[in-house]
Amino acid sequence: MKDFLDENFLLQTKTAQTLYHEFAEEMPIIDYHNHLMPDQIAEDKNFENITQVWLYGDHYKWRAMRANGIDEHYITGKASDWEKFEKWAETVPYTLRNPLYHWTHLELQRYFDIHEVLSPANARKIYDECNAKLQTKEYSVQGLLRKMNVKTLCTTDDPLDSLEYHQQIKNNHVDINVLPAFRPDKAMNADDVMGLNAYIDKLAALTNHTIDTYNEYLAALKTRHDFFAENGASVSDHGLEHIYAEDYTEEEVKAIFLKIRGKGKLTLQENLKFKSAMLFTFALWDHEKGWVQQYHLGALRNNNDRLLASLGPDTGFDSIGDFPQGKALAKFLNRLDAANTLAKTIIYNLNPADNELMATMIGNYQDGTVAGKVQWGSGWWFLDQKQGMINQINALSNLGLLSQFVGMLTDSRSFLSFPRHEYFRRILCDLFGTDVENGELPNDKALLGRVIQNICYNNAKTYFNF
């Protein structure tokens, strides 16, 4: 019987162990999509305690605590940080077979060299030990990133963001490449006409533009896209239920925008046409600049109206949606490809039923100009657990070229989440190792090691030109 979370955790064969320890383990990290706060990186923040770095904003843990019967007072409420940590420690023993159990203990080991299993019995001891380390320079935000050998990371930023903290990081010559990513979801959210108008007004003030027409709106947004590029951005990102690819004319969209500015109620078709026009325009800008565009598809968000009203979005009340994805996605990509304006693209699905759809869709738009030009992204959100990663890797292997895959990302709000890259790498090596020992792949250590290292780091470095 193996020890829990030992050096060969998840590595079931000798070949897997060799591939991980000799090739994957020491590779640096490029985390090209996350929700980390750039101000905390710029200021090189030291967190007061582990609750602040571990539990604040982590809706994965919040969902588990609620499911374990923990009152909201101890999750997002006014309980002390110690009380919140105590309730998390109370919940951890009940997360067996949930990825949170693995992540929790990987993070305690990798960052704090704590090899105990967290429980109410040792919660205070572990809390105090972590807190003492977090006060040291080695455990500042930048120190935590260096511990995990993070070379480049891309935050997620609204077009209205000043990017002042990215500028500060660059001016301070921080040895970690911290880049913004352009996330214009709010700029095309015609579901909320009043909110969109408020957004447009802020954009007008920021850019010193008058925005009364659709063309004026695009011109103002384009200055923000240019501003992001000037500040190192080469990645965009969209979080959508599904791709919008309705047919529209420019005159129709111009009229819809006037209706928005007049605070009129849009029909469903008008809403879809507006979103389709905006999404296509953003894609043209991305191609013009040679950016990588990312589409995260399939989340059914904010399902609990009562708790959304009191806690706001991104607090743990989202789920997998069952939206049709294939037809609109093909139409959108085909329109861009037909005009030779399809940028490098990464598509992520949240519904595992779409795995094979995504794995085959990307093959339709490879054109030989870039290896893996259109990528199917790693298991995302509810799928970034062991079985979700295995399913994604297997489908991509069967229907595409796993060897050209750009690998893992954290998609996290926590600076303690980077062992998720290790988790992915161990799973990847285990799959290759099993195939070797089953006689399904050659026992060619040099070839296998090169492919493993490419997936872990080199492919992303080349693909993003970091």
Chosen domain end from 96, 118, 139 = 139
One domain for residues 217 and 281: yes
pLDDT at position 2 is 86
One domain for residues 193 and 320: yes
CA distance 291 to 237: 10
CA distance 396 to 355: 8
Number of C-beta neighbours around residue 63 at 10 A:
18
Chosen domain end from 139, 174, 192 = 139
pLDDT at position 465 is 96
**Closest among 150, 182, 136 to 44, alpha carbons compared:** 136
Give residue-wise pLDDT tens across range 273-298.
999 999 999 999 999 999 999 999 99
**Closest among 343, 349, 345 to 326, alpha carbons compared:** 349
CA distance 270 to 25: 51
Tell me the percentage of the chain whose pLDDT exceeds 70.
100
One domain for residues 183 and 103: no
Q: Which domain holds residue 96?
A: 46-139
Give residue-wise pLDDT tens across range 208-251.
989 999 999 999 999 999 999 999 999 999 999 999 999 999 99
One domain for residues 196 and 333: yes
Chosen domain end from 121, 139, 157 = 139
Instruction: Output the CA torsion sign for 330, 334, 335, 337.
Output: positive
Examine the pLDDT at 272 and tell me if it is beyond 90.
yes
Q: Would residue 254 count as lying in a domain? A: yes
One domain for residues 311 and 417: yes
One domain for residues 315 and 258: yes
Which CATH number is 165's domain given? 3.20.20.140
Q: DSSP code of 188? A: G
One domain for residues 39 and 50: no
Examine the pLDDT at 302 and tell me if it is beyond 90.
yes
Q: Would residue 190 count as lying in a domain? A: yes
Mean per-residue pLDDT, 48-55: 98
Report how many domains make up the chain: 2
One domain for residues 104 and 27: no
Calculate the average pLDDT of the chain. 97
Question: What would you measure as the largest C-alpha separation in the chain, in angstroms?
Answer: 69
